[in-house]
Structure 1
Amino acid sequence: MKRTILLFASAWMVASCNQQVKDNTPPPAPQEKEVAEEPAKIDTTANLDLASIPYSDNDIGVFPFFTPPKGYKVMNQPINKDFDVCYFAINGLMKPFEGRLYKANITNEQGTQFSQRYFEKSMEDYLASIGAVKVFDGNITSEEYERYNKQDPHKGDEGDIGYADEKIRVYVIRTKDQGNVFIQYTSNNAGAKLNILQENDFKQTIKKITADDITKDLSETGKSIVYITFDTDKSSITAAGTELVIQIAEALKNDPSLKIAIEGHTDNTGDATHNKKLSTERAQAVMAALVAQKIDKARLSAKGYGAERPLVANDSEDNKAKNRRVELVKIK
């Protein structure tokens, strides 16, 4: 009996010890949650210290300052504008500069093959000879491309530079008589792209059209093109458009013998029938506004032509805007 009790007690003690060991086992360490990496922040404050670049005393020629190397030529129609914006790679960031702009694709002439090294060596040697200073030689990241590309109005155009991992070289020439000139290019064994910008300040050239301007146009050419603004897809004249109508009325009052035909025109967007109707209604609205300015209706006529008589080809938004016009034609 005692042996039985002893065995039972021993078993109970072992079980108790095992339970104690089990209870003292530390709980499993919590697994760390994966934290998504935040995209790297781009420092857009890096600027180019132009004052540190010495002036060049060399004759750099006239805009766009130099030709492609021998055996190479400009491909297609380059961008060549008196004033525009271009993004240049500065310290790995695409920075906008404004001024006279030239952007082109460069290719080989017939009978030759394009050599990346020949193009780059030609550029390096020539730019050094006219005092250009290299300010960047590298590429931009995909993050930088995503940051800036929608701001660039020339993305996809001729000579477009500034794609992720594209090898870009940027030079600056400082001159006392022609200002700062920025040059950037990129190339491979298939061709090259070149950007040249002569930095200058924007000069406002828009001026208010006056009665004298309208009278002069009608006297010299028999026609005056005016851009009277209307509410979108309507014939109601805006406040700015009304100011122009007042100047037209002033021109008519200054010459009581003057008679004009008011012709409405649109671009080719949308339905042709609707455009013609809208242009007619707008021409009639201008005539009604002139009558309200005490102009005898007998001196006026109004007709709409829709998109039938474009001033320029409807192949860009700028050209379409030019076609949305009112023409004042002198009636003899």
Structure 2
Amino acid sequence: MKKIAFLFALATIVISCKQKPKENTEKSAQPHEMAAQQQVTADSTQDFSFETIPYTKADLGIFPFFTLPKGLAELNKPLLKDFDICFFPINGIMKGFEGKLYKAYITGREGTPFSQHYFESSVDHYLKSIGAVKVYSGTITKEEYQRYNTKDPNKGGEGDIGYDGEQINVYAIRSKGQGNILVQYSSTNAGAKLNILQQKVLTQTIGKITADSIIKDLANSGKSILYINFDTNQSSITAEGKETVNQIAEALNKDTSLKISIEGHTDNSGEAAHNKKLSAERANAVMAALISHSIAKSRLSTRGFGAERPLVANDSEENKAKNRRVELIKVN
């Protein structure tokens, strides 16, 4: 019995010794996994710089620089902006870049099913062939999406990329002729989204409205488009608006032969009849202010068009603001 007990105890020890290395292996893997996670977090704080990208020697052509793969097409009219901002997940952190922008949904042409593998392989191969460098491939967190999404003026629009859990691939191109370019896409078997940005600095086109600029516009084109500030949904001119009226009066005093028609315009918000009445009242308010500056009434006339003659489509708040205007039309 003692011999049997001894053999049983010895077997127990042997089995225990064999199990311990497995436990140690499992435990030793955990710190390694944690270190890898910490490395990803550390990398995400590093800044991306185009200076690290070699110049391409390829002829890139004109913006947006490449066609879609054969058999694929834009699902809708793409978003095209001469200057805007687009966010790219640089090391998992959404960073805004400014410049010329293209954004689109991509799908198969009629009768041609979309293939995720075909799209990704085609784009990746072409970008690499023109010297593009992949700078990111991965997703962003829900927290990162919540941090940045309200800063993106095109969020939810055509070809929008940058949602938590969305697989995104980003390429950078550095060209001596075309400057810095970023390309990003995401895709599934249902379709793809493609963004292309050619980085550039804003060219300031805003200038102070002066009597001389009004005279120049009237001489060159027969009209001067002004954005005179009124109280909301009213015809009373604000303090800022009165500064513009002062410049109109000065222009009319500088060129005493000028006669103008003051024409009011609105966007398409609200009822058409109300907008037309409001635009006429605002034109009349400008005329009354000019008369108070000793401009002869015989040199002035007014019209209100409401939303009948938009400068641009009333399809965004930005465009609606452009349509809310006063136009001075040269009469003589």
The two structures have a TM-score, normalised by structure 1, of 0.81
Q: Which residue of 2 aligns with 1:18?
A: none
**Shift, 1:58, TM fit:** 1.9
Per-residue CA shift, 1:211-261, capped at 9, x if unaligned?
Answer: 333233333443322111122233232333222222212222233222222
2:104 aligns with: 104
Structure 1 residues 69-110: Cα deviation after superposition (integer angstroms, max 9, x where no partner): 111122211111111000111111211111111111111122
CA displacement at 1:137 relative to structure 2: 0.8
Separation in 2, partners of 1:320, 1:234:
17
1:318 corresponding residue in structure 2: 318
Residue 189 of structure 1: how far off its partner (Å) = 1.3
Deviation, 1:128, is: 0.9
The alpha carbon displacement at 1:126 in A equals 0.9
Unaligned runs of 5+ in 2: 1-40
Matches within 5 A, 1:154-303: 154-303=154-303
- The answer as to whether partners of 2:74 and 2:107 remain within 8 angstroms in 1 is yes
Bigger shift: residues 287-296 or 81-90: 287-296
8 Å contact kept, 1:107–1:191: yes
* C-alpha spacing 1:281/1:105, structure 2 compared with 1 (3 Å): same
> What secondary structure, in the 3-state scheme, does the structure 2 residue paired with 1:181 have?
strand
Q: SS of 1:77's equivalent?
A: coil
Query: How many Å separate the matches in 2 of 1:273 and 1:78?
Result: 34
What CA distance in whole angstroms lies between the structure 1 residues aligned with 2:43 and 2:248?
53
Structure-2 residue corresponding to 1:52: 52
- Which deviates further from its counterpart, 286-295 or 177-186? 286-295
Per-residue Cα deviation, 1:139-167 (whole angstroms, up to 9, x for no partner): 11222222222221111211111111111
**Residue matched to 1:63:** 63
Partners of 2:243 and 2:42 in 1: CA distance: 47
Task: Name the CA distance, whole Å, in 2 between partners of 1:292 and 1:55.
Answer: 63
SS of 2:75's partner is strand
2:151 counterpart residue number: 151
In the alignment, residue 125 of structure 1 is paired with which amino acid? H
Task: Kindly provide the amino acid, as one letter, of the partner of residue 176 in structure 1.
Answer: K
Alignment of 1:117-132 (within 5 A): 117-132=117-132
Q: What letter matches 2:293 in structure 1?
A: Q
Query: Residue 73 of structure 1: SS of its match in structure 2?
Result: strand
Partner of 2:11: none
Structure 1: state its 5+ residue gaps.
1-40
**Paired amino acid for 1:229:** N
The residue identity in structure 2 corresponding to 1:282 is: R
Q: Tell me the distance in 2 between the aligned counterparts of 1:65 and 1:124.
A: 14
Inter-partner Cα distance in structure 2 for 1:226 and 1:210:
11
Which residue of structure 1 lines up, in the alignment, with residue 21 of structure 2? none
Maintained 8 Å contact 1:42/1:144: no
What amino acid maps onto 2:250 in structure 1?
Answer: E
Distance, in Å, in 2 between the alignment partners of 1:209 and 1:315 is 27
1:7 corresponding residue in structure 2: none
What one-letter code is carried by the residue in structure 2 that aligns with 1:304?
A: G
Paired AA for residue 268 in structure 2: N
The one-letter code of the counterpart of 2:139 is: N
- Comparing 302-311 with 91-100, greater Cα deviation is found at 302-311
Larger mean CA deviation between 266-275 and 118-127 belongs to: 266-275
- Determine the C-alpha separation between the residues in 2 that align with 1:312 and 1:169: 35
Partners in 2 of 1:313 and 1:64 — Cα distance? 24
CA distance in 1, matches of 2:177, 2:221: 39
One-letter amino acid of the structure 2 residue matched with residue 193 of structure 1: K
CA 1:322–1:42: 2 relative to 1, 3 Å: farther
Aligned residues: 292
Richer in helix (by share)? 2
- The question of whether the paired residues in 2 share the 8 Å contact of 1:214 and 1:224 is answered with yes
Query: Displacement, 1:44?
Result: 7.6
Cα 1:331/1:60, change in 2 over 3 Å? closer
After superposition, what is the alpha-carbon deviation per residue over 1:155-181, rounded to whole angstroms, capped at 9, x for unaligned?
121111111111110010112222211
Aligned partner of 2:142: which letter?
Answer: S
> In terms of mean alpha carbon deviation, does 89-98 or 288-297 score higher?
288-297
Q: Secondary structure at the match of 1:112?
A: coil
8 Å CA contact 2:90–2:135 kept in 1: the answer is yes
* Identity over aligned pairs, percent: 65
In structure 2, what is the equivalent of residue 83 of structure 1? 83
Q: Distance in 2 between matches of 1:43 and 1:248?
A: 57
Aligned residues of 1:184 and 1:196 also touching (Cα < 8 A): yes
